[in-house]
Amino acid sequence: MTGGFFITGTDTGVGKTWATVALMRHLQSLGSSVLGMKPVAVGCSLNDGQWQNDDALLLQENGSLAVDYTCINPYALKAPVSPHIAAAEMGCTVQLEEILRNFYHLRSLVDIVLVEGAGGWFAPINDRQDIADLAAVLELPVILVVAIRLGCINHAKLSYQAILASGQPCAGWIAVCSEQHMLAREQNIATIRRALDVPLLGILPYTHYPDFNFLSKHLQILP
C-alpha cells in the first residue's frame, strides 16, 4: 500500500470529497490509519475568526486522529471562484512549499494521507502553477473521480489523458452516480471502463445524504 493518494476530479462538484471520505473509511476498515488533506479550498466561511471550508472540515472529522485544521487546509480562500483568483482577492499566493510542509507533517502521523485537489486537473492555484503541479510535487498516485452524468465519457478520457501526459501514475478511477435518474448510467460506466487503462476502484451509488460507511463498502483497494 502506498503512503497516500492524490484525489482529482473531472471537474468541480463531481463528488471528490464524498469519494475521499469513503476511501478514508474503507482504508480504516482495512486497519490503516488515515488522514485527509485539502491543501487549497475556496468558498470558505469565517468560523471563530478562522476561514474554514465545509469539505476540509469533513476530512478533518473523519481522520484517524485529531489534527489542527490549518494542517489539513493551509489555504482557506473566501470567494467561490478559481483558487488563483480567490487567493489574489485575499492578498496571498498559494505556495507549494507550504503545502508540502503540512503534507509531510500529516504523513509522519499516519499510514496513509489522501490529498484532495481543487476543481479539475488543470485548475490554476497561482499565476504559474495548477493542480497538476501540486500532484507532481507530492509524488502520489492519482485517483480520478468521475461524476456519471451527461458528458462524463469525454471528461473522463480527457482528464485521464492529461494525468498520463503530466507523468503522474494513475492508480484508478471512481464512478460517482451524481444524478438519480441518469439515462444509460451503466453503459456510460462500461464505456469509461473500456477507455481507461486503470482499475475501476468502485461505483458510489446515488444518495441524497452521505452515509460514508455505506459508500465505503462500494470501494475496492487492496491492502
pLDDT in tens, 19-52: 999 999 999 999 999 999 999 999 999 999 999 9
Instruction: Fill in the amino acid letter for 209.
Output: Y
- Residue 100, Cβ density class (10 Å: 0-12 exposed, 13-18 middle, ≥19 buried): middle
50: Cβ contacts below 8 Å, ≥ 6 apart: 69, 70, 76
Instruction: Fill in the amino acid letter for 202.
Output: G
Of 154, 145, 152, 196, the C-alpha closest to 174 is 145
CA–CA dist 168, 219 (Å, integer):
22
- Tell which CATH architecture fits domain 4-38+95-216: 3-Layer(aba) Sandwich (3.40)
Q: What does the pLDDT read at residue 209?
A: 87
Q: What does the pLDDT read at residue 223?
A: 47
CA–CA dist 133, 125 (Å, integer):
9
Q: Where do the domains of the chain lie?
A: 4-38+95-216
- The catalytic residue positions are 38
CA–CA dist 131, 124 (Å, integer):
6
Question: Which residue carries 471520505 as its cell?
Answer: 21
> What are the pLDDT digits (tens) for 105-136?
999 999 999 999 999 999 999 999 999 999 99
If phi > 0 it is left, if psi is from -120 to 50 it is alpha, else beta; for residue 52 that is: beta
221: Cβ contacts below 8 Å, ≥ 6 apart: 1, 23, 26, 27, 30, 172, 201
Question: Which residue carries 507523468 as its cell?
Answer: 167
Strand partners, 143: 7, 172
Low-confidence residues of the chain: pLDDT under 50: 223
Q: What does the pLDDT read at residue 31?
A: 94
